[in-house]
Amino acid sequence: MLRSSCLRLGARLRCPGGGIRAPAGSGHRSLVSCIDPSIGLNEEQKGYQKVAFDFAAREMAPHMAEWDEKELFPVDMMRKAAQLGFGGVYVRTDVGGSGLSRLDASVIFEALATGCTSTTAYVSIHNMCVWMIDTFGNEEQRHKFCPPLCTMEKFASYCLTEPGGGSDAASLLTSAKQQGDHYILNGSKAFISGGGESDVYVVMCRTGGPGPKGISCIVVEKGTPGLSFGKKEKKVGWNSQPTRAVILEDCAVPAANRIGNEGQGFLIAMKGLNGGRINVASCSLGAAHASVVLTRDYLNVRKQFGEPLARNQYLQFKLADMATRLVASRLMIRNAAVALQEEREDAVSLCSMAKLFATDECFAICNQALQMHGGYGYLKDFAVQQYVRDCRVHQILEGSNEVMRMLISRSLLQE
């Protein structure tokens, strides 16, 4: 869908001279070449990127602060994004997906995140869920669930974390006992993005014994008796997407909704998270990318001691460090995205490294941007504080950065 949209629009989607517009809502000149995110992309990828940047500037950035303040879940906007193919970026085309690569998806999510990091992060989780069904589901499941998810007529949530277990996901307690042609689910999931609003819940539950091999993946549809939700959580950031507990009490779900075989759920969950880590790191890139440009422009207009802050060498060096960290993060993420697409043996470690490095560095970039804005940076009238709040949680979710270090060191020590 996205590929055909780009081809129809043709030259209008290309980036003149390799440049792009400034991050959504900044209203300033094009980026200097050293941090231009179109560098290294082919013409088709530049087209996808241009579509995403334009959409972020037009449909997201003007509303980002309102969605945050009022905690609004922007359903209509996301459905507009889905019309461009953003509801199933790397889902196969026969079920309504765009059929693009992991690298293409990273480029798109980075661009969208400049307009609203919180909302883009939810869209990326939704994409991960649709991919899991598309990849591990049978044909009936693919054609039942994926088309309305790709159009975002329906929304999806990923349900792995539980109140008593986050990083130790293999110890999950939510149970699924088969009775005839149904599974009876009991348990609860915590910190679920889209909880209460989503229509499809991809639930990891225990159908067998302890450990990862006893876990299966079952799709629970909204409205199923026994499915309920906790209170809406009050969060530091990510306020444009609701977060609630998902509660399952004698919840009868058709056995036909099990994705893959019994005992395959943990593998499915981890495969999904490999891509999810690239996605959320890409969202951090978008926040950092926007913050660098906002800071550059602020230094050029803000005067202290009789001259623009941009003439202060200390601040010049800080800006240079921010730009360097941004580009290094982008390169790591894109390298990992290619490895994941090619199903290379080092893909899991590279995804972990990219998520660890990029989310840490991009948060540091956003935080430094706030500092360089001085007192203004702490005001909600200035977007930089929202980028700080929205990207902080990326160091925790999709596997905390401490878990990323565990995965990387485990790979090294097993060599």
Mean pLDDT of 238-265: 98
Kindly report whether the global pTM for this prediction surpasses the value 0.85: yes
Q: Is 220 helix (H, G, I), strand (E, B) or coil?
A: strand
Mean pLDDT of 329-338: 98
Give the pLDDT confidence score for residue 283 in this predicted structure: 98
Please indicate, yes or no, whether residues 405 and 273 belong to a single structural domain of this protein. Answer: yes
Q: Is 376 helix (H, G, I), strand (E, B) or coil?
A: helix
Mean pLDDT of 338-355: 98
Residue 377 has pLDDT above 50, yes or no: yes
The pLDDT tens digits for 124-174 are 999 999 999 999 999 999 999 999 999 999 999 999 999 988 788 889 999
Give the pLDDT confidence score for residue 319 in this predicted structure: 98
Q: Which amino acid is at 30?
A: S
Residue 415 pLDDT level (bands cut at 50, 70, 90)? low
CA Rg value for the chain: 21
The answer to whether residue 360 sits within a structural domain is: yes
Residue with tokens 């560098």: 39
CATH number of the domain that residue 62 is part of? 1.10.540.10
Of 43, 221, 398, 415, catalytic: 398
Please indicate, yes or no, whether residues 162 and 88 belong to a single structural domain of this protein. Answer: no
Give the pLDDT confidence score for residue 2 in this predicted structure: 53
The pLDDT tens digits for 171-193 are 999 999 999 999 999 999 999 99
Question: What residues contact 138, with CB distance under 8 A and at least 6 apart?
Answer: none
Residue 383 has pLDDT above 80, yes or no: yes
Last-in-domain residue among 132, 154, 176: 154
CATH number of the domain that residue 306 is part of? 1.20.140.10
Last-in-domain residue among 154, 189, 206: 154
The answer to whether residue 336 sits within a structural domain is: yes
Eight-state DSSP code of residue 59:
I
Give the helix/strand (H/E) hosting 325: helix 313-341
The answer to whether residue 38 sits within a structural domain is: no
The count of domains in the chain is 3
Residue 251 has pLDDT above 60, yes or no: yes
Which is nearest to 298 in space by CA: 377, 386, 380? 377
The pLDDT tens digits for 64-99 are 999 999 999 999 999 999 999 999 999 999 999 999
Please indicate, yes or no, whether residues 282 and 401 belong to a single structural domain of this protein. Answer: yes
Which is nearest to 286 in space by CA: 216, 220, 365, 401? 365
Please indicate, yes or no, whether residues 311 and 256 belong to a single structural domain of this protein. Answer: no
Question: What residues contact 31, with CB distance under 8 A and at least 6 apart?
Answer: 19, 20, 22, 37, 293
Residue 220 has pLDDT above 70, yes or no: yes
How much of the chain, in percent, has pLDDT values that exceed 70?
92
Sign for the pseudo-dihedral over CA of 304, 305, 311, 312:
negative
Please indicate, yes or no, whether residues 162 and 119 belong to a single structural domain of this protein. Answer: no
Residue 32 pLDDT level (bands cut at 50, 70, 90)? low
Give the pLDDT confidence score for residue 10 in this predicted structure: 27
The answer to whether residue 180 sits within a structural domain is: yes
Please indicate, yes or no, whether residues 375 and 324 belong to a single structural domain of this protein. Answer: yes
Last-in-domain residue among 120, 136, 154: 154
Q: How far apart, in whole angstroms, are the C-alpha atoms of residue 353 and residue 351?
A: 5
Mean pLDDT of 316-326: 98
Residue 272 has pLDDT above 60, yes or no: yes
Q: What are phi and psi of 182, to 5 degrees?
A: -130, 160
The answer to whether residue 35 sits within a structural domain is: no
Q: Is 91 helix (H, G, I), strand (E, B) or coil?
A: coil
Tokens of 214: 């006893």
Please indicate, yes or no, whether residues 270 and 356 belong to a single structural domain of this protein. Answer: yes
Give the pLDDT confidence score for residue 7 in this predicted structure: 35
The answer to whether residue 34 sits within a structural domain is: no
Q: For 60-207, where are the E strands, in sequence order?
A: 156-159, 175-179, 182-193, 200-206
Range(s) of the domain holding residue 179: 157-263
Q: Is 397 helix (H, G, I), strand (E, B) or coil?
A: coil
Residue 206 has pLDDT above 50, yes or no: yes
Please indicate, yes or no, whether residues 146 and 238 belong to a single structural domain of this protein. Answer: no
Give the pLDDT confidence score for residue 1 in this predicted structure: 53
Give the pLDDT confidence score for residue 165 in this predicted structure: 80
The answer to whether residue 5 sits within a structural domain is: no
Check: CB of residue 87 under 8 Å from CB of residue 149: yes
Give the pLDDT confidence score for residue 321 in this predicted structure: 98
Mean pLDDT score of the chain = 92
Please indicate, yes or no, whether residues 288 and 258 belong to a single structural domain of this protein. Answer: no
Residue with tokens 């609203």: 116
- Exposure string (b/e) for 4-26, b if CB count within 10 Å is 16 or more? ebbeeeeeebbbeeeebbbbbbb
The answer to whether residue 26 sits within a structural domain is: no
Q: How far apart, in whole angstroms, are the C-alpha atoms of residue 138 and residue 157?
A: 19
Q: How many CA atoms lie within 13 A of 140 on its CB side?
A: 6
Q: How far apart, in whole angstroms, are the C-alpha atoms of residue 350 and residue 275?
A: 11
140 annotated active-site: no
| Poorest-pLDDT segment among 9-18, 104-113, 305-314, 378-387 | 9-18
Q: Is 162 helix (H, G, I), strand (E, B) or coil?
A: strand
Please indicate, yes or no, whether residues 238 and 294 belong to a single structural domain of this protein. Answer: no
Please indicate, yes or no, whether residues 203 and 242 belong to a single structural domain of this protein. Answer: yes
Give the helix/strand (H/E) hosting 215: strand 215-221
CATH number of the domain that residue 178 is part of? 2.40.110.10
Residue 3 has pLDDT above 90, yes or no: no
Please indicate, yes or no, whether residues 132 and 251 belong to a single structural domain of this protein. Answer: no
